[in-house]
Amino acid sequence: MTFDFDAYVTAALFGKAGKAAFALGDGSIRFETGEHVEAHDGAILAACLHPSGDGVLSGGDDGRLVWTRTTGSEEIAKVQGRWIESVAASPESRLIAFGAGKELHVRDTADPAFSRVFSHEKSVADVAFDPKGRRIATATYNGAWLWYGRIAEQKPYVLKWAGSHVGLAWSPDGKFLMSAMQENQLHGWRVADEKNLKMGGYPGKVKSLAFLAKGALLATSGAPGAVIWPFAGSTGPMGKQAAEIGFDESAMVARVAGTANGQIVAAGLDDGRVWWCDLAGQRINTVKAEKGPPITALAITPDGKRLAWGDEDGGAGVADIG
């Protein structure tokens, strides 16, 4: 099933029913079942699943955080004069976090009156919940800041590394925090002792991270194939070498997605192609062979049976792969 939305695809997401939704640069949310909801007055800059698994949370350049379901949209928060460029949600704690300028904002789906705001020295580029949903990491200049989502007055736990950090992913056991940087570099920390994980050698920017195999593996973009790092054991990737799956010197992997509890990884390329691979067999299965605009969004269902993608010109698709 393919679509032509005629707008940049910011995110592709699968809800709890296994149906895909697409957040678009024209401010709308489109569902594979046909519904079209105007959520924002302007572009959607970030989106994630609502903690309930029903519907999409999106942040836009209109400064609004919106919850959209097939039946319509509802404003959750508004920050005057700011763009909301990162959004995260935790099914475990039912908390929602979003970045606006130099601030991290936190909301509780169980309590409409709950609100926390945490200030940073520089802009917040990304936000990510730890596996329990209690702690929130923010990507900012010269490192990552960690906050407890419900505590009002606190000082952040700062993980330092020089440079601009733009994307985050927690390991499923909460021991490691990984950061994609503005440079062609992946960095990480072992949170307990702030041990730095220097993971370089990338020919391009790492724009996408996905843990799979219950945290034993980390897949990233930023190379002509999907880069797979081993994370098993207490030391994670330290002293270990990465593998590269689906190497193709004519293109770069722009987005990756994976099954959290399985070994299926998918890749969207900067030439518009999409493939997936079961790492147990390492055979590359092409889902979208025709070339086109770069893939900007990619998602896979937890059971690894459905794959969704979108590109920068509004092309999108959903495929059964399992």
Range in 24-33, 109-118, 131-140, 234-243 the model is least confident about: 234-243
194: region left, alpha or beta (phi > 0 left; psi from -120 to 50 alpha): left
* Dist CA 20 CA 18 (whole Å): 7
* Dist CA 104 CA 311 (whole Å): 28
- 265: exposed, middle or buried (C-beta count within 10 Å: 0-12, 13-18, 19+)? buried
Q: pLDDT value at position 201?
A: 87
Q: 29-64, pLDDT tens digit by residue?
A: 999 999 999 999 999 999 999 999 999 999 999 999
* Dist CA 231 CA 24 (whole Å): 34
The answer to whether residues 92 and 49 touch, using CB atoms and an 8 Å cutoff, is no
Q: 189-236, pLDDT tens digit by residue?
A: 999 999 999 888 899 999 999 999 999 999 999 999 999 999 988 788
Report whether pLDDT(252) > 90.
Answer: yes
Give the whole-number percent of the chain exceeding pLDDT 90.
94
Q: What are phi and psi of 214, to 5 degrees?
A: 55, 35
User: If you average pLDDT over every residue of the chain, what do you get?
Assistant: 96
Closest CA to 22 of 295, 304, 303, 322: 295
Q: pLDDT value at position 200?
A: 82
Say which residues have a Cβ less than 8 Å from residue 228's Cβ, sequence separation at least 6. 217, 218, 219, 242, 243, 244, 245, 265, 279
Q: pLDDT value at position 235?
A: 83
* Dist CA 263 CA 278 (whole Å): 6
Q: pLDDT value at position 216?
A: 95
Q: What are phi and psi of 232, to 5 degrees?
A: -65, 145
Report whether pLDDT(240) > 90.
Answer: no
Dihedral of alpha carbons 109, 40, 296, 82, sign = negative
Block residue for tokens 């041990």: 195
Q: pLDDT value at position 232?
A: 86
pTM comes to: 0.96
Q: 159-190, pLDDT tens digit by residue?
A: 999 999 999 999 999 999 999 999 999 999 99
* Dist CA 21 CA 2 (whole Å): 13
Report whether pLDDT(266) > 90.
Answer: yes
Assigned token pair, 318: 């959903």
The helix (H) or strand (E) run that includes residue 312 is none
The answer to whether residues 87 and 77 touch, using CB atoms and an 8 Å cutoff, is no
Give the whole-number percent of the chain exceeding pLDDT 70.
100
**Cα angle at 155 between 149 and 157, to 5 degrees?**
80
* Dist CA 313 CA 206 (whole Å): 21
Q: pLDDT value at position 281?
A: 87
Q: pLDDT value at position 37?
A: 98
Domain chopping of the chain, boundaries: 202-322
Q: CATH for 202-322?
A: 2.130.10.10
Say which residues have a Cβ less than 8 Å from residue 15's Cβ, sequence separation at least 6. 21, 49, 53, 54, 55, 56
Report whether pLDDT(239) > 90.
Answer: no
* Dist CA 262 CA 152 (whole Å): 37
DSSP assignment letter at 294: P
DSSP assignment letter at 289: -
